[in-house]
A and B are shown apart, each in its own frame.
Chain A
């Protein structure tokens, strides 16, 4: 006897999951993946291979048989290395035994933090344009997303004034990601101090997503967690994907006061158990004098950024100079095309993939994200093609009447 299917499969999906939009990035990926000979500036990961010494450490770990579970928090040797790295680079002290958890990418760390902190209906503030997963993470935790739009006019920087304007009484958490994906914007100490004061006054916990921290071109990495009084109300999120070129290893971490790490660990132990052991072994090697690999990559990104910045300048595309990460976010609205139209036409006519800016939030509309984690020769060719495209679509100047 067959079961009487009273509800269709889509109806069986939980309402809050059904309500989640598909990522615009995924839509666009589906289109790009059908085309050939595309130069992609749409990639949010380094083009550098993982440094060989790190890969070699993973191979050795595999030979040694490091294929078992680790403790839920991660290998203590790795947590010690992480805490030493965070102290050295950001000047914040954490106890490796109780204030650090190793996760499957910083994505999991962000998810754990949101789920550990958010009660149904709690407000979570985050700036836009931003990484595509912040709002869905909040929704999956039944929280109330409170986006704070930043714009090109203010260099996509987050200010106290913007925060005040979009704050709500039920806000409990603020997510901060500078250097920023997709704009490359970064914050300076005075701005961070203002944000810290705001967080203290509103009694917010801040998730400081420092995934691009070391890829900063105009100064030392700086985290809100390092400011006076902020260590106690920050969850410091970081990982190995970007600065260490280890995306496929899927390894991140969170540092926070022990009760918060304990709460995150509860979710982690029931859902993930532990981060991959081989990746943890590789990460220990990555943290052994990390600057020796990071510095040359940063210099290469800087050279590419400068090249692309000049190219956009020559095309007449307004762009905020990126101060970190490996993205540029030029404005294309004056061409009379939406972000999506621009990206689709550019793909069809010139075989260059960029990501429509509105997938990162409404104020990303009129922009496209160009990743310069792309080999220099490809980048030069892509710039040439974008230049030709822009010249062809530039609005016709009419002589004044």
Chain B
């Protein structure tokens, strides 16, 4: 992977000047490469990784395993795209194993998520079953531990 992309994956907010210094490139080179990745859709977006539980805002995340009947034309893709269009779906994956699709659904409360499943998801033609589990606590997300890491003491000067 391009070292620029590796850096951006963990330091999305780094300034172009600093990225250029770290990679020994000129700022213009970095700007051009980022623009190219954005144009080609390799960089799909930038986001902050939040510890949302500490915000104490009501939010429910459900993990839903979905079984579907694949279609002769297009396999799982057409039905998966149809499911993904719902804004409640934050992530969706095609899986090996018992279920076909794994969805992460977000909603303001249990009721809203349950209604989405029963009134939208389950009724989509081709969906044969859903298994819904609710997320209770986040320990790690996108490579970040959610609890504050322990402070380790290092000597301030050592040989």
B155 in the interface, Cβ–Cβ < 8 Å?
A: yes
Contact with B along A348-386 (1 / 0, CB 8 A): 000001010000000000000000000010001000000
Contact residues on B (Cβ < 8 Å of other chain), bracket: 10 to 19
- Contact partner of B157 (CB less than 8 A), chosen from A25, A49, A376, is A25
B41 in the interface, Cβ–Cβ < 8 Å?
A: no
Q: Are B159 and A23 in contact (CB under 8 A)?
A: yes
Residues in A whose Cβ lies below 8 Å from that of B21: 306-307, 309-311
* Stretch from B3-11, B48-56, B77-85, B121-129 forming part of the interface with A: B3-11
- Contact partner of A32 (CB less than 8 A), chosen from B7, B11, B152, B156, is B156
Q: Are B159 and A131 in contact (CB under 8 A)?
A: yes
Q: Kindly provide the distance from the CB of B145 to the nearest chain A CB, expressed in whole angstroms.
A: 11
Q: A306-B23, A307-B18, A311-B21 are in contact. Are A44 and B159 (CB under 8 A)?
A: yes
Q: Are B158 and A45 in contact (CB under 8 A)?
A: yes
Provide the bound-state CA to CA distance between A206 and B41, in Å: 55
Contact residues on A (Cβ < 8 Å of other chain), bracket: 20 to 34
Residues in A whose Cβ lies below 8 Å from that of B156: 29, 32-33, 38, 40, 42-43, 353
A288 in the interface, Cβ–Cβ < 8 Å?
A: no
A28 in the interface, Cβ–Cβ < 8 Å?
A: yes
Contact with B along A39-69 (1 / 0, CB 8 A): 0101111010100000000000000000000
Q: Are B23 and A43 in contact (CB under 8 A)?
A: no
Q: Are A25 and B158 in contact (CB under 8 A)?
A: yes
Residues in B whose Cβ lies below 8 Å from that of A299: 3, 6
Q: Kindly provide the distance from the CB of A299 to the nearest chain B CB, expressed in whole angstroms.
A: 7
Q: Closest residue of chain A to B15, judged by CB?
A: A380
B22 in the interface, Cβ–Cβ < 8 Å?
A: yes
Provide the bound-state CA to CA distance between A44 and B155, in Å: 9
Q: Kindly provide the distance from the CB of A308 to the nearest chain B CB, expressed in whole angstroms.
A: 8
- Besides A38-B156, A40-B156, A299-B3, 8 more A-B contacts (Cβ < 8 Å) are A29-B158, A42-B156, A43-B156, A47-B154, A303-B3, A303-B7, A306-B24, A353-B157
Q: Give the interface of A toward B (CB within 8 A).
A: 23, 25, 28-29, 32-33, 38, 40, 42-45, 47, 49, 131-133, 181, 299, 303-304, 306-307, 309-311, 353, 355, 376, 380
